[in-house]
Amino acid sequence: MKINNFGTSGINPYKSQMNKLDKAAKTTANATDKIEISSTAKEMQQVSHYAASRQAKVDELKIQIENGNYKVNPNEIANSILNFYKK
């Protein structure tokens, strides 16, 4: 009695799987990453204008504290705290 080969004879399923992995590796190796920064993000990075105005405010507060002219408004502080926790 002779038995004929049934199905896919002569094909190594592991070899075909390795070929698929090799092809996938080649396509990812050839791909290059690219990053684009929007103009809005670039504007946000330009904080030198804000830094200068902020430093001026800090210097003004330092002078007021050193001279004893700085007064704390408790109502504004309480309102700020309430607004912070209401959010």
Residue 1: pLDDT above 90? no
Q: Is 73 part of any domain? A: yes
Kindly report the backbone phi and psi dihedral angles of residue 8, in degrees, each rounded to the nearest multiple of 5, phi listed first. -95, 90
Specify if 63 maps to a domain.
Answer: yes
**pTM, entire model:** 0.37
pLDDT (tens digit per residue) in 70-85: 999 999 999 999 999 9
CA distance 45 to 39: 10
Q: What's the whole-number mean pLDDT along residues 20-35?
A: 73
**Tokens matching residue 13:** 């399923």
Total domain count, the chain: 1
pLDDT score recorded for residue 86: 92
Boundaries of domain holding 47: 39-86
Tokens representing residue 10 in the block: 């002569």
What is the spatial distance between Cα 70 and Cα 63, in angstroms, rounded to a whole number?
9
